[in-house]
Amino acid sequence: MIEIPSLSGEEAALAAFLVETMQPLGFHAFVDEAGNAVGILGEGPNEIVLLGHMDTVPGVVPVRIEKGKLYGRGSVDAKGPLATFIAAAARVGALPGKRIVVVGATEEETANSKGARHVIRTLSPTYCVIGEPSGTRAVTLAYKGRIVLAYEAWADAAHSASPAGSILEEGVEFWNRIRRWAEDFNAGKKMFDRLDPALRHVRSENDGLEESIHLRASVRIPLGLTPDDVRQQVEGLKPGPGQLRFWGADPPYRAEKNNPLVRAFLRAIRERGLNPSFKVKTGTSDMNVVGPAWNCPIVAYGPGDSALDHAPNEHLDLAEYHQAITILARVLTIL
C-alpha cells in the first residue's frame, strides 16, 4: 500500500489494489461512486464500519524497513490503520449476525472528505471505528473542528514613500488580529480547549499598476464553538477592502465512552496485558464528518504515533501494527 502513491484525488491505483487484495480474503470488494475501496464480510443486523482513508499528503519518504520499523509516506497516516482494518476483518472472517464493512476513503486529507461524505448516505452502522493512529493501547474519542479561509485584496500600486497604508500591511494586520483574538480566547485554557489559527499560504503581487495580497489559513475549533462562530468573528476582524471565502467547515466532535464499542476495546487491550487509555486530538478526521450524521458508538483506532503524521521520517513499528490487528480482531468478536 505504501509503495503505491495516493495523493488526495489520486487514489484510484490504490483502490484497485485493495479491491484485488480483499477479494481472495473473502470480502465482497468493489470501488464505489466516490472512488472508495469497500470490502464487506458477512451479513446481519449489526453493521460494523471500519472507516480508514487511502490518501496521503505530498512528500516522498523512501519505503524501507529498518530495525522493525516500516518507513514511507502514509505508513502512520493512515495506511497502517487501514491495513490493520483489512487484516483484522480477514482474520475473524464472516461472523454470525454481523456485517463488517471496511472502507478506504478518498480525500480525507483535504477539506472535502469526499469519501466519508459519500458513505454517510450509503451505510448505517451500529458501530464505527475510524482508522487513525492512536497507538495500540489507546482509543481516540474527540477531535477539534476546523474551518479554512482565504483573504484576497487589491489596490492601485503606490510608491513606497507614499504616506498611504499598503494593502499588504492591511493584510498582515488582519492576520495579526486573528492571532490576537485567539490568544485572548486561549488565556488559561488547556491545549484541547484552545483556538488554533494557522497561516498556510501568503502571496503578494505587484505588476506596477496594481498590488495584491492573498492569504490562506485554517482555524482549529474547540468544543463549545462552531465553524459559524469562527466565521462571524473573522468577518468582524476583516479590514474594509478585500474578500473573504470560507470552506471545509467541520464542527468539533466528542464521542461517548460508555458504550459497548469502547468497552470492547478496553477489554481487548487489557487481554493483551496493556493499560488502555483515551486520547483527544487537536486535528480533525473523518470522525468529524460521520460522527454527527451516524450518531452511533464511534472511536478512532490504529497503530502508530500521530506525532509522525506528515513527517519526513514517517514510520510505523511493525510489532505495534501486528498487535493492533490482534486487538481489533478481538473487538470484532466481542461486539
Just list the catalytic residues.
Answer: 55, 108
- DSSP-assigned beta bridge partners for residue 212: 154, 205
CA distances from 59 to 79, 109, 257, 306, 309 (A): 15, 13, 36, 17, 12
**Nearest-CA neighbor of 152 among 244, 238, 246?**
244
Q: Within 124-259, where are the H helices?
A: 167-186, 227-237
Q: Which three cell numbers stand for residue 321?
A: 501494527
Burial (CB < 10 A; 0-12, 13-18, 19+), residue 35, is: buried
For 309, phi then psi, to 5°, come to: -55, 130
| Nearby residues of 14 by Cβ (< 8 Å), 6 or more positions away | 1, 4, 6, 37, 54, 104
C-alpha to C-alpha distance for 257 and 264, rounded to whole angstroms:
11
C-alpha to C-alpha distance for 170 and 60, rounded to whole angstroms:
37
Q: Which three cell numbers stand for residue 76?
A: 502512520
Residue type, 224: G
